[in-house]
Amino acid sequence: MDRPVIAFLGIGLMGGPMAARLARAGHPVRAWNRTFAKAEALRAEGAEPHAKLPDAVAGARIVISMLEAGPIVREVMAAALPALAPGSLWIDMSSTRQDEALDFHAILAARGCRFLDAPVSGGVGGAQNGQLAIMAGGSQADFDEAAPLLRAMGTPRLVGPAGSGQVAKLCNQLIVGATLNVVAEALLLAQAAGADPVEVREAIRGGFAGSRILEVHGQRMLERNFVAGGQVKSQLKDLHNVLAAAGAAGLALPVTELVTRQYETIAGELPQADHAAALIALERMNPGQRLGDAPDRLS
């Protein structure tokens, strides 16, 4: 059976490797980005770069967007709508608010098109290796159609109707953001109290405190490697979206509020640093305390 043409919109830090994996898996991919050179770079992976958005989406059965935030998704969607074929499926893999995802669903439905919100977790490494966690919201039929191509990028799971993927992503980011800060506190405490933070991390990796955050970002903190995988600005955007969703649901999330304030203290100076830079925010609260003696590696 012929594979459907995919228009992939947004060839950035995450979108580039995601689109490349689709192309290498044999899916026909049209790549579009506002900066055309980024789309052109995917020609070597087998994708077809397009300079004009309408040309990229015209006749495509599936459109995938991987863009910075909800307002940009809305802008790109509005520009693409006149060229969309009726019945096409738009999969937004960006991180947006739930209410934005519901609006996108309504906009597309009014034009006879379909929608999945399918944000991801796993960072640049997960995108490069096809190991993203993909949280999808939409109908079972649309998910079943999308699943073969989503599996080229990671492990997809349908978590509920439209908008539910963004809820799952917010839950993910809540846990990630809080855990990053707790790992930073644990390692800084280990050193300040006279223990070897490298050995403390090794000692607790196999117990209940073990996690991917301790594994990956604990090592980053020890090395003071803050070259971006997930960025501070993106983490902060997601945390603000978590708090907005909590407010709409009538919930107070005190830990998330604290974590958000921590990231806000470094967002102006280090927006593109890896979100493991939570360690830097913590050190600034504790003058004279610094984990290790390596120089900071920053984007």
Tell whether 1 is covered by a domain.
no
Does the structure show a pLDDT above 90 at 299? no
Same structural domain, 68 and 158? yes
Boundary residue ending a domain (147, 162, 177) = 162
Q: Could you give the CA distance from residue 68 to residue 94 in angstroms, rounded to a whole number? A: 7
pTM tops 0.85: no
Question: For position 250, which CATH number holds?
Answer: 1.10.1040.10
Give yes or no: residues 192 and 116 share one domain: no
- Beta bridge partners, 157, equal 135
**DSSP state, residue 217:** I
Q: Would residue 133 count as lying in a domain?
A: yes
Instruction: Please count the structural domains in the chain.
Output: 2
Residue ending a domain, among 139, 162, 185, is 162
* 247-237-292 Cα angle (round to 5): 120
Percent of residues in the chain assigned helix, strand, coil, to nearest 5: 55, 15, 30
> Which CATH number belongs to the domain containing residue 23 in this structure?
3.40.50.720
Q: Are residues 124 and 211 in the same domain?
A: no
Is residue 1's pLDDT more than 60?
no
Pair (185, 113) in one structural domain: no
Strand partners, 2: none
Average pLDDT over residues 137-141: 98
Catalytic positions are 169
Domain of residue 156, residue span: 6-162
Q: Which two tokens stand for residue 63?
A: 């459109």
pLDDT, tens digit, 9 for 90 and up, residues 155-191: 999 999 999 999 999 999 999 999 999 999 999 999 9
Q: Is 284 inside a domain boundary?
A: yes
Inside any domain, residue 119: yes
252-279: average pLDDT: 96
For 225, the enclosing helix (H) or strand (E) is: strand 225-226
The per-residue pLDDT for range 202-246, each reduced to its tens digit, is 999 989 999 999 999 999 999 999 998 788 998 998 899 899 989
pLDDT at position 123: 84
Contact present, 113 and 88 (Cβ < 8 Å): yes
**Once rounded to an integer, what is the mean pLDDT over residues 252-277?**
96
